Structure 1
Amino acid sequence: MMIGDKTPGWLRILGIVAALGLVGWGAWEKWTNSGAGPVERALRQNDPSFGEAVIHLAEGPNFIDSDGSQRRRTRLWCGRVDGRVDGRVAVLMRHSRKWTGVSVEEVASGETALTDRARWLLSKCEGVRP
Structure 2
Amino acid sequence: MVAIHDVTAGVTLASAAGEASNAWARFRGLMLRKHPGEGSGLVIRPCGSIHMMFMLFSIDAVFFDRDLKVTRVARRVRPWVGLAFGGRGAHGVVELPAGAARETQPGHRLEFTAETGGDS
* Greater fraction helix: 1
Q: TM-score, normalised by structure 1?
A: 0.25
More strand by share: 2
Larger Rg: 1
| Structure showing greater relative contact order (alpha-carbon pairs closer than 8 Å, 6 or more residues apart) | 2
Task: State TM-score, norm by structure 2.
Answer: 0.26
